[in-house]
Structure 1
Amino acid sequence: MSGHTRPRLPGYPFRSRWFTRDGLRRHYLDEGGGAPVLMLHGNPSWSYLWRRLIVALRGEHRCVAPDHLGMGLSDKPGADRYPFTLASRVDDLDALTGHLIAERAAPDRGWTLVVHDWGGPIGLAWAARHPGRVSRLVVLNTAAFPDPHGPRVRPALRPPLWLLRETRLGERLFLRHHAFARLATLPPFGVRRRLPADVRAAFLAPDDRAGHRLAVQRFVHDIPLRPGHPSWPLLLQAEETLAAFADRPVLIGWGLRDPVFDPLMLREWRHRLPRAQAHVFPRAGHYVLEDAHDELVPAITGFLRN
């Protein structure tokens, strides 16, 4: 895929929209009408993840799903053009939503925030800037607080994380072989049920060459494991924002077979948001919307309707 030519994307019958900031085009979807539902993907995903949920909701809600810069159909800048940090992601989201409110008649309040993976810290840090804007929260295999396992990387994750963050082999795996995203779309890593070949190809299509894969690598580099990391203060802001949702409607949809966002992470969410409606899927993995969409999409639809 080159430029903004769109690959074949089964189940993604949406009109592409674009928002330009600092000379870089960000791709987003804006489907339907009604109270806005903002859907934030993580790494190594893009707005294709939300296709079924958008189709289910756009008759009653305004569904907004951006592609983070460097991912999906957004521009793919080099490190000389963009910092690829949590702070820059929050700034991007703030600029896009500000544009939608100022120029495209989106309301200032009454938003539902749906987050997966990195969407959690990005979305909750954004919400911290606008108290009261988000009225409901949907949490899907993510975190918006320091790792409850503590500052040390869990033993099972130490070798792959060290390889990906600290070695030249890791760089080759990211950029040349696209190994991180390829494994994330295969069982037993990101999914537990094998994806149809055309769906897996659609997840991988936007990152069709090495120069388009930098964002995937930089997201892994930016994981704030302990105090002193540049993204740590924003992670703490996201954590502080969670307290505001203790009395607001929250739905948690969780795949228990996620190797990173494990049952202890789920327990932390339930501890912090004890009134949340929880839907737990013992046979689903990290991409819970792929493995458990037949149950999870109707659950989210009903949650927003009520």
Structure 2
Amino acid sequence: MIAADETFRGTFPFAPRYSSAPGFRMHYVDEGAGPVLLCLHGEPTWGYLFRDVVRRFAGTHRLVVPDHMGFGKSETPADRSYRLQDHVDNLEALILDLDLDDITLVMHDFGGPVGMGFAARHPDRVARVVAVNGPTPFGQPGLAKALQDNGNEAPWFRWIARADRSGTLENVLGELNYTILSTLKLNGFENNDIISETWIEAYGAPFPTPAASRGAIGWAKGFATGAHVFEAPGDAARAKMAKVPALAIWGSADRTLGGKYFLPLFKDAFPHGTITELPGVGHYSLEDAPDKVAALLREFLDATTPAIMGA
């Protein structure tokens, strides 16, 4: 767990806030005022991934950026499983604790399944959806095949399966403090110009020991063992979410989550949604192309806010 007051030389200058509602100290950023943008990170990142979004949009929106259990400045309890369903439970507890409504979900990587899990439970609290290289599983019949086909192709998921079989997964991911850059590169990080000692330190800091790496280990192992359970929405939730404004921004150079597998699932969940693919941009599109992502997000928010306000 990163110290509450750590700013990484001013690159993450946001006041730390904590909620105990999920049963542990869950850290979140809460900056700005206005319509809520709830930004959900994935593996093996934390709220630092959205620092540019917070800076750009806090003048017009309320940015709430939680760190999932075992990541960033949140605690890493030893008695939790770190399965997908646990992360959905934690997010639900935080959102209800803060009483967030009219939420725009901005989801990256496994933030997608976590956010969509919340949407399945509370569709009336979700106003818009933005998937940034983040899958949007929502009870689609093609989900299992997409996961299998993507897993057979992606280097990250092939390594997870092999490492779990050989018993080395925990040992390798327990050293993320030292191997964070190679892990990010394996997943498809393209923008080498942004790499600095501070940047590497910020992404490696949540994982100083194997015990502190339970979050990253648990998420990977859950896929290797099939322990993750995707939330199944009811018919009313599916019908409601099919009508919300939705945007998918997908870096086409993603080596972990192939757009050809997951963008059809997005279109199934959001038949009126818009898809923009970014050539040459990798899995961490918020790092690879922050200007492009911000421009697309701003355009989407500007275009859809009046319709929501008049609904």
What is the TM-score normalised by the length of structure 1? 0.86
Following the alignment from structure 2 to structure 1, what is the Cα–Cα distance between the partners of residues 36 and 218? Answer: 29
Aligned pair in 2 of structure 1 residues 131, 69: CA closer, same or farther (>3 Å)?
A: same
1:128-277 equivalences in 2 (<5 Å): 128-145=120-137, 146-149=143-146, 151=148, 153-155=151-153, 157=155, 159-176=158-175, 178=177, 181-186=180-185, 189-194=187-192, 195-197=194-196, 198-223=198-223, 229-232=226-229, 234-237=230-233, 241=237, 243-264=239-260, 265-277=262-274
Q: What amino acid maps onto 2:107 in structure 1? A: V
Following the alignment from structure 2 to structure 1, what is the Cα–Cα distance between the partners of residues 231 and 22? Answer: 25
CA contact (8 A) 2:174 2:207 kept: no
Q: How far has the Cα of 1:50 moved from its partner?
A: 0.6
Following the alignment from structure 2 to structure 1, what is the Cα–Cα distance between the partners of residues 147 and 5? Answer: 44
Q: Does 1:26 align with 2:23?
A: no
Following the alignment from structure 2 to structure 1, what is the Cα–Cα distance between the partners of residues 161 and 259? Answer: 23
Q: What amino acid maps onto 1:262 in structure 2? A: G
Q: Deviations over 1:142-188 (max 9, x none)?
A: 223324436464155464122332333222111135577432333x6
Q: How far has the Cα of 1:301 moved from its partner?
A: 1.7
Q: What amino acid maps onto 2:130 in structure 1? A: V
Of the three residues 75, 79, 82, the one matched with 2:80 is 82
Instruction: Return the structure number with greater helix share.
Output: 2
Q: Deviations over 1:212-258 (max 9, x none)?
A: 11110110111288xxx4433x3443999555333221111101111
CA contact (8 A) 2:43 2:219 kept: yes
Identity, % of aligned pairs? 29
Following the alignment from structure 2 to structure 1, what is the Cα–Cα distance between the partners of residues 73 and 188? Answer: 21
- Structure 1, gaps ≥5 residues long: none
Q: What amino acid maps onto 1:123 in structure 2? A: G
Q: Does 1:115 align with 2:107?
A: yes
Total equivalences in the alignment: 293
Following the alignment from structure 1 to structure 2, what is the Cα–Cα distance between the partners of residues 296 and 127? Answer: 23
CA contact (8 A) 1:112 1:138 kept: yes
Aligned pair in 2 of structure 1 residues 192, 18: CA closer, same or farther (>3 Å)?
A: same
CA contact (8 A) 1:9 1:199 kept: no
Q: How far has the Cα of 1:53 moved from its partner?
A: 0.7
- Structure 2, gaps ≥5 residues long: 138-142, 304-311
Aligned pair in 2 of structure 1 residues 283, 37: CA closer, same or farther (>3 Å)?
A: same
What is the alpha-carbon root mean square deviation over aligned residues? 2.6
Aligned pair in 2 of structure 1 residues 245, 179: CA closer, same or farther (>3 Å)?
A: farther
Find the residue that maps to 1:115 and give its secondary structure.
strand
Following the alignment from structure 1 to structure 2, what is the Cα–Cα distance between the partners of residues 169 and 272? Answer: 37
Find the residue that maps to 1:231 and give its secondary structure.
coil
What is the TM-score normalised by the length of structure 2? 0.84
